[in-house]
């Protein structure tokens, strides 16, 4: 049995080793990437056990994905090697120094063939936390059915259900995604969303108020909460719905805010030199859920989430920068420190 169980698609990742056009690269770095497996790896590095349910192709790329997760001590014993479809592919380039561009080759491939029959009932029922995202149901009806079955099992067993919106515009339109994402949020105990993603969950048109500038998000010129900050809080409260659900708003460089039964909490981001933003949201979720498993209060959960996210953006790769417990203290060292 695992502390955390998650399910979804993990792809092979090809990354440009330097800034520039992809076509000008003489070589690409090879790895693995997936929102759900990133969270599983992050939780394991912070001291807990995790299992990943998914499908990979019967190919070298699929073998690489499973080997990577096993090396990170994530249980993949119930995952499926699909002989009928190849492993999906993610390509990442840094076109300019502070901009990352990602392309996906996943339609109809192994990860999208995840189905309800792949969900191990005993594994999910024995977990303390089931973690889901809005990416998996976007892959198709079969994958959506797998998520729905996993959530139903977790709810019946009394496990906590975590849901990260993780909206991907390349997979579905807001009109198609919104009702599915709202239903998933309705069955979750903890919902993670970016500021703009709140609009997909909130039926009152939060779009015009979220996604404002960092200055507007925090305070206006009179020192009062900015309109965007007020809009985010109002939308989060509506999504929380007074149903014992906690809504955690991931705000990037502005930190994180949570609204729920325990109240409203804010946590600033940890200032670091950002190298690669991809995977930072998954790192935040992993830190938050590890603190939840610790029994920490809401402020402690946000704090560990922000510290884990700071590590992730400091290193190239989707999961490579995820911290261990020992690593966390390094953020308290001054810039330029040498440890001897």
DSSP letter string over 133-161?
Answer: ESSGGGG-HHHHHHHHHHHHHHHHHT-EE
The residues, any chain, with a CB within 8 Å of residue 320's CB and separated by 6 or more, are 31
Instruction: Give strand pairing partners of 14.
Output: 30, 91
Q: How many helices (H) and strands (E) does the chain have?
A: 11, 14
Which DSSP symbol is given to 20?
S
109 C-beta neighbours (distance < 10 Å), count: 23
Give the C-alpha separation, 67 to 183, whole Å. 34
CA angle (40 as vertex; 317, 59 as ends), nearest 5: 70
Helix/strand/coil percentages in the chain, nearest 5: 40, 20, 35
Question: What is the number of other CB atoms lying within 10 angstroms of the CB of residue 155?
Answer: 15
Q: How many angstroms separate the CA atoms of 134 and 114, rounded?
A: 14
Place of tokens 């198709």: 140
Report the SS3 class of residue 193.
strand
Q: Are 228 and 212 in contact (CB under 8 A)?
A: yes
Q: Say whether 237 sits in a helix, a strand or coil.
A: helix
**Does the active-site annotation cover 75?**
no
List the structure tokens of 13: 């990742």
Phi-psi region of 316 (alpha: psi -120 to 50; beta: other; left: phi over 0): beta
Q: 218, 282, 294, 318: which is the annotated catalytic residue?
A: 282
Which residues have a catalytic role annotated?
Answer: 282
């Amino acid at each position: 049995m695992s502390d955390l169980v998650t399910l979804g698609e993990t792809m092979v990742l090809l990354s440009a080793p330097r800034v520039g056009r992809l076509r000008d690269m003489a070589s690409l770095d090879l790895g693995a990437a997936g929102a759900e497996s990133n969270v599983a790896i992050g939780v394991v590095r912070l001291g807990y056990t995790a299992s990943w349910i998914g499908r990979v192709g019967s190919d070298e790329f699929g073998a690489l994905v499973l080997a990577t997760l096993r090396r990170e001590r994530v249980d993949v014993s119930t995952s499926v090697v699909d002989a009928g479809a190849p492993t999906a592919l993610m390509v990442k380039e840094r076109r300019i120094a502070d901009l990352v561009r990602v392309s996906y080759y996943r339609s109809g491939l192994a990860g999208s063939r995840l189905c309800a029959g792949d969900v191990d009932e005993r594994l999910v029922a024995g977990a303390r936390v089931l973690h889901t995202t809005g990416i998996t149901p976007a892959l198709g009806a079969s994958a959506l059915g797998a998520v729905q079955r996993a959530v139903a099992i977790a709810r019946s067993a009394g496990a906590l259900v975590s849901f990260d919106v993780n909206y991907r515009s390349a997979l579905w339109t807001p009109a198609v995604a919104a009702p599915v994402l709202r239903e998933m949020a309705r069955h979750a105990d903890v919902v993670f969303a970016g500021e703009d993603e709140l609009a997909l969950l909130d039926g009152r048109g939060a779009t015009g108020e979220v996604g404002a500038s960092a200055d507007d998000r925090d305070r206006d010129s009179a020192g009062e909460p900015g309109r965007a900050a007020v809009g985010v809080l109002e939308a989060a409260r509506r999504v929380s719905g007074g149903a014992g659900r906690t809504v955690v708003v991931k705000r990037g460089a502005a930190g994180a805010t949570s609204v729920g039964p325990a109240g409203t909490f804010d946590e600033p981001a940890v200032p670091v030199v950002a190298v690669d933003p991809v995977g930072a949201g998954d790192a935040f979720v992993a830190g938050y859920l590890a603190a939840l498993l610790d029994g920490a209060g809401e402020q402690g959960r946000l704090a560990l989430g922000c510290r884990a996210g700071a590590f992730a953006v400091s290193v190239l790769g989707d999961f490579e920068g995820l911290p261990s417990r020992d690593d966390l203290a390094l953020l308290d060292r001054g810039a330029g420190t040498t440890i001897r």
